Amino acid sequence: MEVNKLHPIFAAELIGPDLAQEPDQALVDLVEELMNEHAVLCIRGQGHITDEEHLRFARAFGPLELPGTLRPDEPRRMAYGLYDASNLDINGEIVDRASLRAKFAKGNEIFHADSSFNDMPSKWSMLRGVIVPPEKGDTQFVDLRHVYEELPQAMKDKIENLVAEHSFAASRIKGGASPEETDRIREAMPGAMQPMVRISPSGRKSLFVGSHAFRVEGMDEAEGTALIEELIAFASQDKYVYAHKWRQGDLLIWDNRCALHRGTEFDYERYKRDLRRANVNEYGEERSAIKTPLQSLTPERQPAAG
């Protein structure tokens, strides 16, 4: 096993595991240790593994958050349990850029933590690069533990006991979808209240905001929005950002409890991009983040909640 840092603040790569083999306790312990330290971990060279092996590895770290837009028996490109974070339809062809799904995907280009709109605490996301574009399309990350430590003391004092409301619909509107298009999303995923300061698994305090956050409890709308935007702007300074340049077969893991991420643009209509994601919760039974199935959306139009 070889571990290399990818950024001065956080993020590392792990070279050596073969996830086609059932993970043993030594590997599970190593990955937990590296995630506690680095918050983002790329396991290289996993282009040969199957969807089922991807899911088996994810389940070694907790119960899965299941995608709820499709039933297990409906047609799909990938194994049930994985989120489709690609630009491909069920036949493996590029989705129309004007489609609702493509418009919703624009919201993933703003810094966010997966499933912060869910009342079940999201532990990790595991995103596998099956097909990656030859250029652009990086995924960027921020370690919110380090960002919190860099905040002015006056800001730390201000947000110490504040709570924000997070909604998947709010981030889709920020990405350019219309309020009418997101009404069904709001119904399916009502949202959740989250503290703006959390204790991360490493024991360090962490800021907790992102594009799903849209309202601060006890503040008027304008004041709360301004505070959220100020914190996200502070967190997304270049010096805090790690930009992951994808290699085919990368399995990229991040801790949603203390890291933000966003996708960046690529030539959507020219290059196929097939990314498949497993989400791991802290505890509980496997369940969907979506409370009401989005029955009015066809597979080509369904958003991959993130």
Domain count along the chain: 1
Specify the pLDDT at position 243: 98
* pLDDT average per 10 residues of sequence, the chain (306 residues): 97 98 98 98 98 98 84 78 92 86 77 91 95 96 98 98 91 68 72 95 96 95 96 98 97 98 93 96 84 46 54
Q: Token match 């062809």: residue?
A: 93
Domain range enclosing 79: 2-288
Phi–psi pair at 166, nearest 5 degrees: -115, 140
Q: Is residue 64 part of a domain?
A: yes
Specify the pLDDT at position 177: 65
Q: Is residue 295 part of a domain?
A: no
pTM of this prediction exceeds 0.85? yes
Q: Is residue 30 part of a domain?
A: yes
Q: Is residue 300 part of a domain?
A: no
Pair 4, 28: CB distance under 8 Å:
no
Q: Is residue 294 part of a domain?
A: no
How far apart (Å, rounded) are the C-alpha atoms in residues 148 and 142?
11
Q: Is residue 205 part of a domain?
A: yes
How far apart (Å, rounded) are the C-alpha atoms in residues 38 and 57?
19
Specify the pLDDT at position 70: 52
What is the sign of the dihedral through the CA atoms of 146, 147, 148 and 151? positive
Q: Is residue 293 part of a domain?
A: no
Specify the pLDDT at position 239: 98
Phi–psi pair at 42, nearest 5 degrees: -105, 120
Specify the pLDDT at position 299: 41
What is the sign of the dihedral through the CA atoms of 207, 33, 119 and 58? positive
Q: Is residue 303 part of a domain?
A: no
Specify the pLDDT at position 301: 43
CATH number of domain containing 120: 3.60.130.10
